[in-house]
Structure 1
Amino acid sequence: MPRSTPSATQILDKALDLADICGWERLHLHEVADALGCDLAAIARHYRQKDDLVEAWFDRADQALLARGKAADLAILTAEKRLEELLIAWLGALAPHRAVTGQMLLYKLEPGHVHLQVGGLLRVSRTVQWWREAARRQNLHLSRIAEESLLTGAYLRTFVHWLHHAEEAPADLRALLRRQLRRAPLGWLLRG
């Protein structure tokens, strides 16, 4: 029987679907290959290791944020509201596999995965950079550094809250994010 040659998207989608059932820790790439009717080499062509699937998942969320950033209605909003809309789009892209997303983060934070922890820090930085860019933030020098640091804190607090409150109403999540963005001194930077 001929083996299939799945795309990177098909592999990621199948891995997420299987992880919804068994959990990220228990997911094995050979099971993904079996479910897709391919061999491991077909998966290795797109993903060198299991963590590459995690990166692809977060890349997908970053793309949703950037797509939202192109919307015409965003340009007329305040900086705070643009940031809110963009992060909500990012979280919305992750929502179909929220529990698995949290499991992926725990996998990255395992003590034996220092190499993944460093990648996780770079991922946070990359997402915050895209978030700022899509929001058209133009602060420079010390103001930019302060804003990036404060936005990183707001991003992490909102993301962790979102992971742990799956039943929360969307309006409550938005209210929490707004509070994060209005906290001094970040609120001052966004209004300045």
Structure 2
Amino acid sequence: MGEDDDRAERILDSALLLGERDGWDALHLHELADLMGIALEEIHRHYGQKDDLAEAWFDRADRALLRAGEAAGWLALPVRERLSRAILAWLQALAAHRRLSIEMLRYKGQPDHLHLQLRGLLRVSRTVQWIRETACLPAVGLRRELEEAALTAIFVSTLGCWLWDDSPDAGRTRAWLDRQLLLAERVAMRWSR
């Protein structure tokens, strides 16, 4: 990681701390610059707007799911297990700042933030693509399109479950994800006959 990347990571870490303290909606970039003792221009150099910090946070989760696929014996695992581990790695990466992550998602969903909502849709699509790649799904054509649609529904519904899951170690989310993946596997088996 270069010095520039390191600075961007420190800015993000500071924004997360400030967001935890004051809430995401109350986070102001000029306060972040003051806290860090840097010029506002330095933040702008790395993050063009506040939502870019949220996107960087979700990018960290993407990298966590990619690392899940580096586990020994990954390809020997059943597809359903690879998908589960990849999605759970993404959620676990957000767990350290769960409440703040939820606030970021709410912020994106505010009615006057249509531009952020569109970015959110692109984010879901990008993350689903990384889940597919990490799980090493080989489908092409119509089968791939159907898999992507199903996986998007599973990912979004699991994220929704996680948003409300106050169980220890996100147990309800794990159970939800397992049920959804099992159902999708059964449907796929019927279609392949």
C-alpha RMSD of the superposition: 1.6
One-letter identity of the residue aligned with 1:153: A
| Distance in 1 (alpha carbons) for counterparts of 2:182 and 2:105 | 27
Equivalent runs, 1:140-155 vs 2, <5 Å: 140-155=140-155
Once the two structures are superposed, residues 131-184 of structure 1 have per-residue CA deviations (whole angstroms, 9 ceiling, x without a partner) of: 001000011111111110011111011111111113344444322111011124
**Normalising by structure 1, what TM-score?**
0.91
Matched, 1:189 2:188: yes
* Residue in structure 1 matched with residue 74 of structure 2 by the alignment: 74
Number of aligned residue pairs: 186
* Alignment check: 8 A CA contact 2:64 2:90 kept: yes
Cα drift, residue 190 of structure 1: 7.2
| Distance in 2 (alpha carbons) for counterparts of 1:136 and 1:86 | 11
Question: Secondary structure of the residue that 2:139 maps to in structure 1?
Answer: coil
Equivalent runs, 1:1-192 vs 2, <5 Å: 7-184=7-184, 186-189=185-188
* Alignment check: 8 A CA contact 1:143 1:189 kept: no
Question: Secondary structure of the residue that 2:167 maps to in structure 1?
Answer: coil
* Residue in structure 2 matched with residue 3 of structure 1 by the alignment: none
Question: Secondary structure of the residue that 1:43 maps to in structure 2?
Answer: helix
Runs of 5+ unmatched residues, structure 1? 1-5
Percent identical pairs in the alignment equals 49
| Distance in 2 (alpha carbons) for counterparts of 1:37 and 1:50 | 18
* Alignment check: 8 A CA contact 1:66 1:134 kept: yes
User: Greater helix percent: which structure?
Assistant: 2
Runs of 5+ unmatched residues, structure 2? 1-5
**Normalising by structure 2, what TM-score?**
0.91
One-letter identity of the residue aligned with 2:80: E
Q: 1:102 to 1:94 in 2, by over 3 A?
A: same
